[in-house]
Structure 1
Amino acid sequence: MSRRILLGLLAVLLLIQVFRPAKNSRPGPQPHNVTALYPAPAGVQAVLERACYDCHSNNTRYPWYTEVQPVAGWYGRQVTEGLEHGNFDEFRNLPPRRQIGFLERCIDQVTRREMPPSGYTALRREATLSVDEVQALAAWARDVQRQIRAAALPADSAGAAADRR
């Protein structure tokens, strides 16, 4: 009886290998990436690449274990969910207020240690952020927010003030 159960489980495991989620891979330059307009210091760029971009960019790195189901499905769902919350490679396509909001959520979640999530850092220890890395990332994001406000929002405010007259 136990042999049949083991063979059945093996058959199911082999069968699910056929079903794979689509991969998030668009290599090459990403002209709409936030750092294309707002360059990040080298340390912050390194943090973005190793701790953020797998789930929040157009080019996810897939380790070997994501080639095996059910891990591939789980990892694919994590990437899809991450992209729904924000994509650094599509940042410049967002209106200024949404850019500021995206960065505010990044600052909030990183400083509260909600990002990167513990399930991700359990598999990718290198994605764990030090206190200094969290502070540097938050400082850069706040600086980008200031630049966006200075460049885009005064025009919005002037237009709104003119409408009130």
Structure 2
Amino acid sequence: MKYFLLTLLAALIIIQFFRIDKSVPEYNKTQDFISQETPPETVKHILKKACYDCHSNETVYPWYSEIAPVSWWLASHIEEGREHLNYSTWGEQPVKRKKHKLGEMIEEVEEGEMPLTSYTLAHSEASLTADEKAALINWLKQVNSSL
């Protein structure tokens, strides 16, 4: 048992040397979702607190992003989030894709799928109240109908 624990400790120390890439990809800020769609301040605040960490190039990495293997999971989660929807490149998307993504955003928020529970457990401020969900959904529907 002693050798197992020492081996486990050594492995945990060694994996700390395998760091994630936390560099911020360059992007044209005029193409950002908030710049393009100009939401009211309340909706802008909701988007920033509940969506932008995983779905934009404006990720703010928390302290635990320094600790492997949690950092690896976090990096994978952010990469997947950006692949699915990246608010930083919103203006570069064709209208058809924007409408599709807006529909998905509405559906995900309505069904309580976003923000992810795993994210809100660590970031309680990202949890959305019923009023915030309603405000976000109503605004997203307005944007979708105006495209």
Structure 1 position 70 matched with structure 2 position 91: no
14-23 vs 96-105, which moves further: 14-23
CA distance in 2: counterparts of 1:47 and 1:63, whole angstroms: 19
CA distance in 1: counterparts of 2:111 and 2:23, whole angstroms: 27
Paired residue total: 147
Q: Deviations over 1:77-125 (max 9, x none)?
A: 1101101110111111000010011111000001100001111111111
Aligned to 2:13: 14
Structure 1 position 125 matched with structure 2 position 124: yes
Deviation at 1:41, TM superposition (A): 1.0
The residue matched to 2:39 in structure 1 has which SS?
coil
% identical equivalent positions: 37
Q: Which amino acid aligns with 1:51?
A: A
Gaps of 5+ in 2: none
Aligned to 2:108: 109
108-117 vs 34-43, which moves further: 34-43
Q: Deviations over 1:108-153 (max 9, x none)?
A: 00110000111111111111000111111111111111221xxxxx
The residue matched to 1:31 in structure 2 has which SS?
helix
Aligned to 2:4: 5
Distance change >3 Å, CA 41–CA 94, structure 1 → 2: same
Structure 1 position 86 matched with structure 2 position 85: yes
Task: State how 1:42-61 maps to structure 2 within 5 Å.
Answer: 42-61=41-60
Distance change >3 Å, CA 81–CA 100, structure 1 → 2: same
Q: CA RMSD in A?
A: 1.5
Is the Cα–Cα contact under 8 Å of residues 53 and 60 in structure 1 kept in the other structure? Answer: yes
Gaps of 5+ in 1: 149-165
Query: Higher relative contact order at CA 8 Å, sep ≥6: structure 1 or structure 2?
Result: 2
For normalisation by structure 1, the TM-score amounts to 0.84
For normalisation by structure 2, the TM-score amounts to 0.94
